[in-house]
Chains A and B, each alone.
Chain A
Amino acid sequence: MTLELSVCDQSMLQGEHGPAVAAAMRILVAFSKAVGARKLLDIAGAHIDGCLYHGQANLDFVERLVEGGGHVRVPTTLNVGSFDLIHPGLVKMPLSQEAPARRLMKAHLELGCQATFTCAPYQTRFRPAFGEQIAWGESNAIVFANSVIGARTNRYGDFIDLCCAMTGRAPAWGLHLSDNRRGQILFELTGSFEAADALFVGVGLIVGKASGDRIPVISGLPQPRDEDQLKALGAAAATTGAVALFHAVGITPEAKTLDEAFHGMAPEATIRISRADIDYALAKLSSVPDGAPLAAVSLGTPHFSHDEWMRLLPMLRQIAPGRGIPIYVNTGRATLKRLQDEGELDDAEEFNLIPVTDTCTYVTAILERLDGVAMTNSGKWAHYAPGNIGVSVAFADMEDCVRSAAAGRVVRGAR
């Protein structure tokens, strides 16, 4: 199988658009050959998961593209970094690590990327449209774009997402192509369920774990209240597995019917999900019993949407936690700006509310206290935070998190 390059691809490869573009195209061509693509296709946008500092090689790569006069060719958003640039002092890090981590974020801006620093680029003005070809990194963003919006991306990652952005091209393979978006494995919810937030997290955890590299189709899911519930499902599925696309029958845009989701073919396997399965998956997210003393609440993984804020703020005002337990909320800087402009955060300090932008509380040192229990409504945060930052976690829905902050201990289900 050979890779056919367009005239423009060839000219980029040969350096006619500068050394940075030539390097990006060379890497993209090698990658495309390795995945067996026959040609490249145009993309409408990119999302780069390259701002978390992991080592010198990543920074050297971006610096070299900057030196080579590189500039992204399509609108390109940035995922979270190691710092909250809007709230200096929130992240505690030794200076030796801080300098390269800050430089990595800034170097991406010099390439023309947008200073979004959010894991939820679908909540910004750069949200793609149905059917658009894009090259995205960040697992929750990938699964949301493919599943909830119906845009088309593979799971791009280190270096390659940026090479796609620098060239405006991506290999024509995988989920970019219609035939490869067919559902393969069916998950049937047995019983009737209310559209509670935790249901979507639980289903996501189970689907992620059992799908392997097959595309899951979920039937029997109640109509979600809003897309934030699908966001939570996708984030959980991309945490316990490698899910890049799910179909929810009657809910997501490429699955109006079961038949459409499977492209008229039969599922390779069917897995039934009961209430007990969901309860079991959710229970495993908590490592402490009810009543354990609480050190912090962390919400907004993935980054809180404006809608989620508008559910949280009235809850805070009504329940009014007053025990000094910080409630961290990770969100995009554009979402925060909008809330501030609307005056919605004027009373935030009364509730020990700490908005976090540009980064996330499970990837960097933000939490003041790690000795107690941190409570979250995020399946993804509950999964990664114990390993990443060494906290004990209790998972619950948003209202229980707020009630627990008021009580100073883990309280669940008491309404």
Chain B
Amino acid sequence: MSEQESRALNRVGTFQLAGEAQGAALVLSQALSFWGGIDAETGDITDHSHPDLGNNVAGKILVMASGRGSSSSSSVLAEAIRRGTAPAGIILERPDPILAVGAIVAEFLYEISMPLVVCDISGIISGDRIAIGLGEGAQAIVSRI
């Protein structure tokens, strides 16, 4: 088996907000609160207690186990989507009501569908090119490209 094949990744997940996206994965080792953790003007991670402080989420496929923290994260995500500083898509292991609200509100207001997917995140490494697509029965397809 070639190295390429051994790293093949093709997973089925569920959408909290359906959409298609491609981008480089940014895998966070700790959950990040968007409120107090991300600057909506730039997409920079600004939480000083977070190991990924200084990274930028704009245009990335943001991968983390779960969301965290204040309900104001809904507003920060919606505002980042409006400004174009949000991730291209977010993949979580567990559903997150606060990020879901932010993504849905942004789609409602600005007709921008930033996919929010719940699926197994093991094996995804920062820098991997990841595509999120629409599968049968409104399932989410997550693949490495």
Residues of chain A at the chain B interface (Cβ within 8 Å)? 23, 26-27, 30-31, 33-36, 54-58, 60-61, 64, 137, 155-160
Q: Does the CB pair A35–B71 fall under 8 Å?
A: no
Please, could you name 17 A-B residue pairs with CB atoms under 8 Å apart, sorted by A? Answer: A30-B16, A30-B104, A33-B16, A34-B16, A34-B97, A34-B100, A36-B95, A55-B75, A55-B76, A57-B75, A57-B78, A137-B71, A155-B71, A157-B72, A157-B74, A158-B71, A160-B71
Closest residue on chain B to residue A24 by CB atoms: B108
Taken together as a complex, chains A and B put the C-alpha atoms of A194 and B79 apart, in Å, by: 48
Q: Which residues of A contact B108 (CB under 8 A)?
A: 23, 26-27, 61, 64
Most chain B CB atoms below 10 A, which of A33, A35, A55, A155: A55
The 8 closest A-B pairs by CB, nearest first: A157-B71, A34-B97, A57-B78, A158-B74, A55-B79, A57-B79, A34-B95, A34-B100
Q: Does the CB pair B109–A26 fall under 8 Å?
A: no
Q: Which residues of B contact A156 (CB under 8 A)?
A: 71
B92 to chain A, nearest CB (A): 10
Q: How would you classify the secondary structure of chain B's contact residues: helix, strand, loop or mixed? A: helix
Q: Does the CB pair B82–A57 fall under 8 Å?
A: yes
Closest residue on chain A to residue B81 by CB atoms: A57
Closest residue on chain A to residue B100 by CB atoms: A34
Taken together as a complex, chains A and B put the C-alpha atoms of A64 and B108 apart, in Å, by: 9
Selected contact of A157 from candidates B70, B78, B79, B110, CB within 8 Å: B70
B140 to chain A, nearest CB (A): 14
Within 8 Å of chain A (Cβ to Cβ): is B40? Answer: yes
Q: Which residues of A contact B40 (CB under 8 A)?
A: 55
Closest residue on chain A to residue B73 by CB atoms: A158
Within 8 Å of chain A (Cβ to Cβ): is B96? Answer: yes
Selected contact of B105 from candidates A27, A33, A54, CB within 8 Å: A27
Extra pairs beyond A57-B105, A157-B74 (7, CB < 8 Å): A23-B108, A30-B101, A33-B16, A55-B40, A55-B79, A158-B101, A159-B105
B93 to chain A, nearest CB (A): 13
For B3-47 the 0/1 string (1 means CB < 8 A from A) is 000000000000011000000000000000000000010000000
Residues of chain B at the chain A interface (Cβ within 8 Å)? 16-17, 40, 70-76, 78-79, 81-82, 95-98, 100-102, 104-106, 108-110
Closest residue on chain B to residue A171 by CB atoms: B97
Q: Which residues of B contact A34 (CB under 8 A)?
A: 16, 95-97, 100
Q: Which residues of B contact A56 (CB under 8 A)?
A: 79, 82
Taken together as a complex, chains A and B put the C-alpha atoms of A26 and B105 apart, in Å, by: 10
Q: Which residues of B contact A23 (CB under 8 A)?
A: 108
Taken together as a complex, chains A and B put the C-alpha atoms of A23 and B106 apart, in Å, by: 12
Q: Which residues of B contact A35 (CB under 8 A)?
A: 97
Taken together as a complex, chains A and B put the C-alpha atoms of A61 and B75 apart, in Å, by: 10
Taken together as a complex, chains A and B put the C-alpha atoms of A137 and B70 apart, in Å, by: 12
Q: Which residues of B contact A158 (CB under 8 A)?
A: 71-75, 101-102
Q: Which residues of A contact B75 (CB under 8 A)?
A: 54-55, 57-58, 158-159
B104 to chain A, nearest CB (A): 5
Taken together as a complex, chains A and B put the C-alpha atoms of A181 and B73 apart, in Å, by: 26
A378 to chain B, nearest CB (A): 20
Q: Which residues of B contact A60 (CB under 8 A)?
A: 82, 109-110
Most chain B CB atoms below 10 A, which of A26, A137, A160: A160
Q: Which residues of B contact A57 (CB under 8 A)?
A: 75, 78-79, 81-82, 105-106, 109
Taken together as a complex, chains A and B put the C-alpha atoms of A156 and B82 apart, in Å, by: 23
Taken together as a complex, chains A and B put the C-alpha atoms of A50 and B35 apart, in Å, by: 15
Closest residue on chain A to residue B69 by CB atoms: A242
Q: Which residues of B contact A157 (CB under 8 A)?
A: 70-72, 74, 98
Taken together as a complex, chains A and B put the C-alpha atoms of A27 and B79 apart, in Å, by: 16
B102 to chain A, nearest CB (A): 8
Most chain A CB atoms below 10 A, which of B79, B98, B101: B101
A167 to chain B, nearest CB (A): 14
B118 to chain A, nearest CB (A): 9
Q: Which residues of A contact B72 (CB under 8 A)?
A: 54, 157-158
Closest residue on chain B to residue A161 by CB atoms: B71
Taken together as a complex, chains A and B put the C-alpha atoms of A27 and B101 apart, in Å, by: 6
Closest residue on chain B to residue A173 by CB atoms: B97
